[in-house]
């Protein structure tokens, strides 16, 4: 740290009541916002859990614009925050530019790989978790038609949809999968009303289980599914509690664990590539008192069996990202 940087961080610390002490970790949320009941909130929960267990404090920012990605990274790095965790693939480009300028700061990026000596890249096998909930959906469906509602039509969401479709087809090869995306602007990640409309549209096409992978939009999907008497599947966080007995399960993506472990490791964090899949509990389906009556023993056995096979490498779920193609679903 040179003199101006020191001076800068000192003035910044004075300027604000909650001053940034050295080596506080920082968390950067993506444009969807902190309380989306889903991806960003999972990250926030991980950070909160760390704060509660250690009594530490952390810096955080919810972004408002694309230009703020690099800005937030640089400002946190200059203020001495370490490690800096960012939730979302969209940070990759900015981090690629910034990481080398702050060799003493550790960074963690979730959902994307950035190859730099001080970066830990955490990637989730969403297709594996989605495969499992797809199996459950097909088993729970009476009509043979299941739905998928994504946020925006981007590769990450296609990865979810593709894994889900494969899971459905593995149980019922004749099943019909109705897939819709919510919108074309980032507002699609937080549009419960549109999510509700899409759910109704899918019900009219015969769907009786709907999987939402759409951030805050999913709140509307789960609500409408519960109102209309069909089942829904939550995403990222465990959303079973939101409509007890009406949410079949949730595809858990343990973003909270990724944030928690990065914060816990602190400045000694090991960097490199980290895959969070079924094998190490990074993804999975949720089972609690809210959906215990919905998942029969035979369903659970079948899914757990598939889970073991995938974790053991005996069953391969096609990853959309490998070839930008999906054998079970057309986009």
| Residue 16 in contact with another protein, rule: CB under 8 A | yes
Given a contact cutoff of 8 angstroms between Cβ atoms, the answer to whether 159 and 127 are in contact is yes
Q: In sequence order, what are the beta bridge partners of 152?
A: 183
Q: Which of 2, 185, 204, 298 is in the footprint of another protein by CB under 8 A?
A: 185
Q: Which of 51, 118, 153, 228 is in the footprint of another protein by CB under 8 A?
A: 153
CA distance 299 to 284: 15
Report phi then psi at 211, rounded to 5. Answer: -105, 125
| Residue 324 in contact with another protein, rule: CB under 8 A | yes
As measured in angstroms, the least distance from the Cβ of 185 to another protein is: 5
Given a contact cutoff of 8 angstroms between Cβ atoms, the answer to whether 71 and 90 are in contact is no
As measured in angstroms, the least distance from the Cβ of 64 to another protein is: 6
Total residue length of the chain? 331
Secondary structure E strands in 112-207: 119-124, 145-152, 176-183
| Residue 99 in contact with another protein, rule: CB under 8 A | no
Q: Which of 155, 281, 312, 327 is in the footprint of another protein by CB under 8 A?
A: 155
Other beta carbons less than 10 A from residue 297's beta carbon = 7
Q: Which is nearer to another protein, 59 or 146 (CB)?
A: 59
Which residues 27-56 are close enough to bind another protein by CB under 8 A?
31, 33-34
| Residue 302 in contact with another protein, rule: CB under 8 A | no
Residue in 91, 117, 114, 115 with CA at minimum distance from that of residue 102: 117
Binding site for another protein (CB under 8 A): 12, 15-18, 20, 31, 33-34, 59, 61-68, 70-72, 74-76, 89-90, 92-93, 111-112, 152-156, 184-186, 321-322, 324
């Amino acid at each position: 740290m040179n003199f101006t940087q020191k001076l800068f961080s000192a003035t910044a610390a004075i300027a604000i009541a909650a001053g940034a002490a050295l080596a506080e970790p920082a968390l950067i949320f993506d444009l969807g916002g902190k309380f989306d009941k889903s991806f960003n909130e999972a990250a926030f929960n991980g950070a909160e859990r760390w704060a509660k267990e250690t009594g530490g404090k952390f810096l955080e920012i919810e972004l408002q614009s694309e230009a703020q990605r690099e800005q937030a990274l640089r400002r946190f790095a200059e203020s001495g925050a370490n490690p800096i965790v960012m939730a979302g693939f969209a940070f990759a480009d900015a981090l690629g530019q910034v990481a080398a300028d702050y060799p003493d700061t550790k960074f963690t990026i979730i959902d994307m790989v950035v190859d730099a000596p001080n970066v830990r890249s955490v990637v989730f096998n969403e297709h594996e978790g989605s495969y499992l909930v797809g199996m459950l959906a097909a088993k729970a469906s009476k009509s043979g038609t299941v739905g998928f509602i994504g946020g925006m039509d981007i590769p990450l969401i296609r990865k979810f949809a593709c894994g889900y479709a494969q899971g459905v087809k593995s149980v019922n090869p004749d099943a019909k999968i109705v897939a819709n995306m919510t919108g074309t602007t980032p507002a699609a990640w937080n549009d419960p009303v549109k999510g509700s409309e899409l759910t109704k549209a899918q019900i009219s096409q015969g769907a009786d289980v709907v999987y939402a992978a759409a951030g805050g939009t999913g709140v509307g999907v789960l609500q409408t599914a519960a109102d209309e008497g069909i089942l829904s599947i939550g995403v990222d966080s465990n959303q079973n509690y939101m409509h007890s007995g009406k949410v079949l399960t949730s595809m858990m993506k343990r973003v909270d664990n990724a944030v928690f472990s990065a914060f816990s490791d602190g400045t000694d964090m090991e960097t490199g590539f980290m895959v969070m899949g079924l094998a190490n509990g990074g993804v999975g389906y949720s089972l609690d008192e809210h959906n215990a009556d919905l998942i029969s023993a035979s369903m659970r056995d079948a899914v757990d069996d598939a889970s073991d096979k995938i974790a053991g490498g005996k069953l391969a779920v096609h990853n959309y990202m490998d070839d930008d193609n999906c054998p079970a679903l057309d986009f």
